[in-house]
Structure 1
Amino acid sequence: MSETLAFGTVDTVLGRLLVGETETGVVSLSFSDTPAARARVVKAARLPVVDAPARTAPALAALRDYFAGDLKTFELPIDWRLVSDVQRQVLTTLYETVPYGRVLTYGELGERSGTGVHAQVIGQVMGSNPIPLIVPCHRVVAANGLGGYSGGSGVEVKRWLLMMEGSLPATLDWDITLPP
């Protein structure tokens, strides 16, 4: 049997998230469930789509638990097929070594990953991460501030996630139940 792609969705405070999963593991996470988002993943993965809710159920449950504050570590299998070797090395290092509630700079991640690439390149890798939240690119910050974030509605989502995880002090008006 050839490999296939299954989609599942989960409603969160940040909106409906779309998860793509192969038999190998999670291959994508999108901040919106649109036909265009699904088409991008299908085109990139080059796999037929199947209806397999049991396949995506663990990832969807983990995301629910994460947003409820009950999950600190994602331990999901990852399918890295949508990234280059350098991206995989950087993103694997991030996934395996930067825990909930911690941040590091783009430069520190470059050093830690052993790729020898400049902080700006690490930023580009974070911006192209096909599995945000699960592979926590929001935990990578600039040496002089938050840096950018291409997920959801942008850097305010990053700020909200870091406050939720306790990496940034919450503002006086911050509310975990309200999206940024």
Structure 2
Amino acid sequence: MTDAAANRRFGVLLNTPLGPLGADSTQAGITALRWGAGGLTDGPMARTLTSELAEYFAGSTAGFTVPIVPTGRPFQRAFLQALMAIPYGETRTYGDLARQLGVSAQAVGQACGANPIPIVIPCHRVLGASSLGGYSGPRGVEDKIALLKLEGAAGLLI
């Protein structure tokens, strides 16, 4: 069995520097990006997401066009829209987003941790006022740093 065939069998779309990524979807779009395996294994949406993630990790793209279907309450959906508005290579603080959305920085931190589609919806671009904050990747903050370095935002970390 080829590596690609084995990956499809186990629901891994792409092996990345952060480890394998899988996804879940509906016919309308991606509902989750998972560290490890997911349910989306083949078809046009899987091919688009795999291609766009590969380009992202190669440093040759700044955005995603694959359709996404984030779910949640109105605040969560508004929060995810605010995350998607943060440009590639830039960051915001939890406080910045809290002021923008009229909620506490703690609520923003909790919403970041609940982001169902990390990387595509860039919660890694949100930092604490005096720390990096957390991250949902398998290695936590190390993965956040790796993504920020990939985007050229590492200067903000020094």
TM-score interval, normalised by the smaller of the two chains? 0.7 to 0.9
CA distance, structure 2, for counterparts of residue 111 and residue 77 of structure 1: 28
Aligned residue pairs: how many?
147
Can you list the C-alpha shifts for 1:2-31, whole angstroms capped at 9, x where unaligned?
xxxxx6611111111001121111110011
TM-score (norm 1): 0.75
CA distance, structure 1, for counterparts of residue 40 and residue 122 of structure 2: 27
Can you list the C-alpha shifts for 1:129-178, whole angstroms capped at 9, x where unaligned?
0100000000000011211112221011001111111111399xxxxxxx
CA distance, structure 2, for counterparts of residue 109 and residue 100 of structure 1: 16
* Structure 1 stretches lacking a partner, 5+ long: 1-6, 39-48, 172-180
Assess if the C-alpha contact under 8 Å between 2:24 and 2:40 holds in 1.
no
* Structure 2 stretches lacking a partner, 5+ long: 1-10
Q: CA deviation at 1:102?
A: 0.1
- The equivalent of 2:24 in structure 1 is 20
Give the residue type in structure 2 aligned to 1:93: A
Q: CA deviation at 1:51?
A: 6.1
- The equivalent of 1:101 in structure 2 is 89
Assess if the C-alpha contact under 8 Å between 2:18 and 2:137 holds in 1.
no
1:1-12 to 2 correspondences below 5 Å = 9-12=13-16
- The equivalent of 2:3 in structure 1 is none
Assess if the C-alpha contact under 8 Å between 1:163 and 1:170 holds in 2.
no
1:19-98 to 2 correspondences below 5 Å = 19-33=23-37, 38=38, 52-81=42-71, 83-95=72-84, 97-98=85-86
Can you list the C-alpha shifts for 1:67-104, whole angstroms capped at 9, x where unaligned?
001111122221023x2221110011111x10110000
1:169 counterpart SS class: helix
Change (3 A) 1:141 1:64: same
CA distance, structure 2, for counterparts of residue 52 and residue 102 of structure 1: 33
CA distance, structure 1, for counterparts of residue 125 and residue 44 of structure 2: 29
Q: Calculate percent identity across the aligned residue pairs.
A: 39
CA distance, structure 2, for counterparts of residue 105 and residue 159 of structure 1: 15
- The equivalent of 2:5 in structure 1 is none
Assess if the C-alpha contact under 8 Å between 1:20 and 1:56 holds in 2.
no
In the alignment, which of 145, 150, 157 is matched to residue 159 of structure 1?
145
- The equivalent of 1:145 in structure 2 is 131
CA distance, structure 2, for counterparts of residue 125 and residue 148 of structure 1: 12
2:14 counterpart SS class: strand
1:16 counterpart SS class: strand
Assess if the C-alpha contact under 8 Å between 2:24 and 2:32 holds in 1.
yes
- The equivalent of 1:119 in structure 2 is 105
Q: CA deviation at 1:50?
A: 7.6
